[in-house]
């Protein structure tokens, strides 16, 4: 009997804890998604019926007249931002109130591999960002380009072999192999062999990082519900040792000295050799109100964490964006012809070879890629967390520290208020004459402000080179099994993916 009473009291306590904030938005007069105990407003996502991006997009569409919409992430209040001016404030103007992403529920218990420039918070993020920013200058990117060209040739060869067989190619798998090969070369100084070897260890590592199983789902839910009590649970435990061992091996082989490969490991060694990093603290102030100084030594584990995010972020986002762009071109042959004509014209002026300068001159190709990312952004939403009490003066309400902020990129990108006939594929939208300051904060595939994607230019350059390599040699067409209207994989969270791949025919030109 006592056991039953304890169980009942425990369940009641959990219920009360879980529902303690459910009147948060009602008190502030903000329209909000009604929560369900334990599932809050994420029922469809928890039950794997819809991806989180699809859920957020639905909320965006349900409140067309609201600038903000309330919701709940576990028991934490969340705010969906629908207005471009408010988006600008969150990402840039009032960044001091929103410098955290809030993707990891327990920032003090963040696991080693997630201590990188994407997931890190506060002073750790600022220290890493300051030291790593010089690694992505135009000069550094140009030095990496020969590695990209070599991988682009391998990409052409693999597509050609499949084309001769007359079979459809999964564009998603093909571009993932190209991306893994590129990251192996530019990130690790390795020949990953992902394009030529069916069982490439590097390709498998990429797949394993994004593998979603029952344990991963349970970990995600528990960390949202009770973050501090589930600190020992890890998202990345299955690949942690592999990444640490690989990076340690490479560092030791180079004797912690720059190898002149101009890859990401060299850049990290250079960062480490510069000594301790020092910045003004975002989190701590002196009695006189001035910020304290925050310091950091770049350890081997921190280097491994940065290499991990270089791999993970680049692998999934780039392969998703390039393959979706090819899918759209297969269904829009007129746009494809324009892209191919531009590629042919530009390459004819550069000895018919891909180069850094040639890619920079392929403006229509860039518009095409941007249009693909508009319709299906790799990151379907941006996340921030309020770090200190903040008042939306024109809306006359205040939020507390800890409130989760969401910018629904996919929803905004397909809103007819900002994009005429938003579901149509029209690269000309991104012609300079069609771009204005008024819609600057409604197209955010790489984010904006101090926490914008640090590798955006590298990702763009590598993606355009891959697309140019394919489209200079092949025309892509729908295969018999190709679906025009695609289904989003519901189990993926931050990065979007397509269920069942993207089969296409690659016809040699």
Binding residue numbers for heme: 453
Tell me if 296 sits within 8 A of 124, measured CB to CB. Answer: yes
> CA torsion, points 200, 202, 207, 209, in degrees to nearest 10?
160
Phi, psi of 467 (to 5 degrees): -65, -40
Strand 404-407 versus strand 382-385 pairing type: antiparallel
User: How many degrees, rounded to 5, is the angle at CA 400 between CA 109 and CA 95?
Assistant: 75
User: Residues near 446 by Cβ (< 8 Å), separated by ≥ 6?
Assistant: 452, 453, 456, 459
Q: Which residues sit in the known binding site?
A: 453
Rounded Cα distance between 48 and 303, Å, is 34
Taking Cα atoms as reference points, which of 448, 474, 446 lies closest to residue 460? 446
Q: At what angle do helices 300-331 and 363-375 cross, to 10 degrees?
A: 100
Two structure tokens written together for 104: 């990891």
Around Cβ 248, how many Cβ atoms within 10 Å?
14
Two structure tokens written together for 29: 């007069």
193 CB-side CA count, 13 A: 7
């Amino acid at each position: 009997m006592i056991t039953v009473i304890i169980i009942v009291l425990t369940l009641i306590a959990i219920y009360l804890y879980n529902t303690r904030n459910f009147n948060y938005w009602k008190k502030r007069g903000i329209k909000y998604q009604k929560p369900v105990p334990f599932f809050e407003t994420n029922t469809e996502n928890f039950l794997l019926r819809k991806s989180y991006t699809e859920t957020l997009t639905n909320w965006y569409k349900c409140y067309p007249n609201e600038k903000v919409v309330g919701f709940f992430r576990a028991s934490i209040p969340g705010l969906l931002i629908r207005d471009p001016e408010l988006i600008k404030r969150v990402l840039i103007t009032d960044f001091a109130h929103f410098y955290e992403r809030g993707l990891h529920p327990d920032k003090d218990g963040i696991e080693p591999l997630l201590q990188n420039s994407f997931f890190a918070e506060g002073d750790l993020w600022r220290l890493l960002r300051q030291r790593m920013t010089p690694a992505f200058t135009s000069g550094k990117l140009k030095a990496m380009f020969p590695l990209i060209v070599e991988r682009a040739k391998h990409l052409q060869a693999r597509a050609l072999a499949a084309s001769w067989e007359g079979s459809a190619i999964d564009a998603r798998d093909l571009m993932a192999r190209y991306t893994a090969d590129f990251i192996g070369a530019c990130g690790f100084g390795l020949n990953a062999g992902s394009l030529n070897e069916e069982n490439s260890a590097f390709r498998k590592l990429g797949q394993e990082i994004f593998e979603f199983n029952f344990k991963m789902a349970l970990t995600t839910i528990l960390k949202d519900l009770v973050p501090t009590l589930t600190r020992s649970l890890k998202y990345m435990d299955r690949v942690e040792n592999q990444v640490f061992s690989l990076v340690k091996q490479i560092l030791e082989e180079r004797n912690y000295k720059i190898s002149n490969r101009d890859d990401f490991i060299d850049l990290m060694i250079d960062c480490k050799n510069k000594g301790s990093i020092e910045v003004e603290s975002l989190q701590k102030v002196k009695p006189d109100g001035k910020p304290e100084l925050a310091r950091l030594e770049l350890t081997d584990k921190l280097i491994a964490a940065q290499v991990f995010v270089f791999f993970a972020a680049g692998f999934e986002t780039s392969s998703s964006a390039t393959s979706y762009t090819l899918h759209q071109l297969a269904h829009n042959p007129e746009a494809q012809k324009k892209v191919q004509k531009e590629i042919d014209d530009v390459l004819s002026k550069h000895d018919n070879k891909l180069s850094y300068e040639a890619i920079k001159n392929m403006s229509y190709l860039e518009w095409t890629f941007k249009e693909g990312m508009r319709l299906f952004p790799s990151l379907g939403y941006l996340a921030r967390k309020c770090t200190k009490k903040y008042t939306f003066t024109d809306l006359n309400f205040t939020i507390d520290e800890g409130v989760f902020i969401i910018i629904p990129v996919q929803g905004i990108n397909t809103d007819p208020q900002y994009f005429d006939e938003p579901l149509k594929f029209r690269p000309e939208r991104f012609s300079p004459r069609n771009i204005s300051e008024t819609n600057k904060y409604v197209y955010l595939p790489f984010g904006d402000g101090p926490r914008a994607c640090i590798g955006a230019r590298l990702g763009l350059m590598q993606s355009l080179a891959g697309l140019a390599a394919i489209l200079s040699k092949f025309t892509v067409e729908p295969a018999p099994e190709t679906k025009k209207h695609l289904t989003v994989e519901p189990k993926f969270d931050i990065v979007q993916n397509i269920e069942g791949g993207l089969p296409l025919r690659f016809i040699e030109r």
